[in-house]
Structure 1
């Protein structure tokens, strides 16, 4: 029940992400996503482990392997068995999620660049712009992007990508990738987080350019020809229609005190219920392993 309410509150916070400034929305969504994953993942892993240890052949081998490395595993007689309707999805989510999370971390480390470097130009006809992970804030533009845009439009793209680098949006992106891999039910939160990060960079570019509509026009122009890179924060990567619509309207103002109080209370309750869910792990262990 605490986990179910936590997820419901998290979705309520996500629903309001367009009503607050993108920078604030990004931080709120990242914290919320992390709280839900921390609350849910251990319960899923524990359920998967208990299901595997009760399997006729695989479970015996797993217990012997654990005992071989010094981990005492009690006999499973009298323990409550996890239903296959719950155990199989839990095992699938655990194995697949761990593999995808490791892949995301490995890709992040491979692309990470902590040395400051000038803008790199990729010899590619397809237009794209991307900021790579790391403190260096390495920005890569394709030759096709230079051919597509004029100098003023290129300045907008560079301001957008520089905002990703300055605010280390790669860290937010890593949280989203690992969190959605470990617990796929938070994928709607991850999508909104990525959208808010792009909106954050759009607003930074608009502030630098001084013309919101021109930034929106540049975004629309790039989106018609854009190719999404394998990773990184890309100028035309997500939610183009919503981002252009936001740029064509006035900027989102600071939330009122009532809204701040409501958001703060919801965030606090979400984190509190996540802690309660973690506290319920011990009763769950006692239920599955009464010995």
Structure 2
């Protein structure tokens, strides 16, 4: 197999380095779509490459060739495959680890979303908005059929009526655009390839920026949205303790360390700046990276097919 087979294993590193700048420069909706879809493509390509490298290692074992009724020649496979046995064995170990971590993440995210949907269905009343008596300032959206928005009395007390409108618009955007699916997809890709973890973290940020921009469009006042985001974060920091929320929930304070500084200052600064515009060159570069990863994986698959044919031909002659 040619050396191009290794490139899909390196491309996720480039994506990890570019993830945060892309999340800042591109409109959040576009950034979310491109980063989450790109993470899945890169994870799939790198996993496929690991599987192909592992296969070349398996072809070298005469025992497996005999179990396959002599369908290939282990000696021919060893002579014509440029990948060493140690590389194939390492690829097998990495493939097993990636598969186990991806399966674990898929189970955890599916269970979290199902639990969040069950929690939404069990909330009192039939309205989308549910107010809970809790002094801790908090607000989040629960996916489900239908999704529900949960706001604590502590958050309502901390914000004025105009800011309540911003808060509701933000949470409704999470439900309307199914942001939890983007987050779950990015985390699944990062589980299969840990190099993509910065991409998953950026997607968690861009969905919040997407909801912020939706709230700004709804209210027509970006400064009010920025003020509300900052005020909600300060209110959550001042309140002692924080109510437990399902892992599948999304809220105005973000999913991770919502009461801490984290990405809140970045979101506020972005709202106080002019709305971001699409950068055609940036989009083309990212699309080119994904295309190159797919082409390299396809080329590796072609080389593997040729190696199999060669090994089968050698076995038939022997």
Specify the TM-score bucket, using the shorter chain as the normaliser.
0.7 to 0.9
Shift of 1:273: 1.8
1-structure distance, mates of 2:69, 2:203: 42
Greater Cα shift, 81-90 or 213-222: 81-90
Tell me, yes or no, if the aligned pair for 1:33 and 1:179 is still in contact at 8 Å: yes
Are positions 1:137 and 2:147 aligned together? yes
**In 2 relative to 1, CA 269–12 (structure 1 residues): closer, same or farther, beyond 3 Å?**
farther
Alignment partner, residue 127 of structure 1: 137
How far did residue 5 of structure 1 move?
A: 5.7
Quote the offset at 1:153 in angstroms: 2.0
Q: Aligned with 2:151: secondary structure?
A: strand
User: In the alignment, does 2:232 pair up with 1:222?
Assistant: yes
Contact 2:138–2:154 at 8 Å: present in 1 too? yes
Match of 1:7 among 8, 12, 32: 12
2:291 to 259, 272, 278: 272
Q: With structure 1 as the length reference, what TM-score do the two structures score?
A: 0.76
Deviation at residue 133 of structure 1 after TM alignment: 2.1
In structure 2, the partner of 1:43 is: 49
Shift of 1:91: 2.9
Structure 1 or 2, whichever has the larger Rg, is 2
> Hey, what's the Cα distance between the residues in 1 that align with 2:115 and 2:303?
41
Equivalent position of 2:168 in the other structure: 158
Alpha-carbon distance change, 48 to 128 in structure 1, aligned in 2, over 3 angstroms: farther
Contact 2:8 2:297 in 1 (8 A): no
Equivalents in 2 of 1:142, 1:48: separation in Å? 52
Gaps of 5+ in 2: 79-83, 255-261, 313-318
Q: CA deviation at 1:211?
A: 2.8
Distance between the aligned counterparts of 1:123 and 1:32, measured in 2?
41
Residue 108 (structure 1) aligned to one of 106, 110, 113: 113
Q: TM-score, normalised by structure 2?
A: 0.71
Taking structure 1 as reference, are residues 189 and 276 closer, same or farther at Cα in structure 2, changes over 3 Å only? Answer: same
Say whether residues 1:234 and 2:244 are aligned partners.
Answer: no
Matches within 5 A, 1:169-248: 169-224=179-234, 225=236, 227=242, 229=245, 230-237=247-254, 239-248=263-272
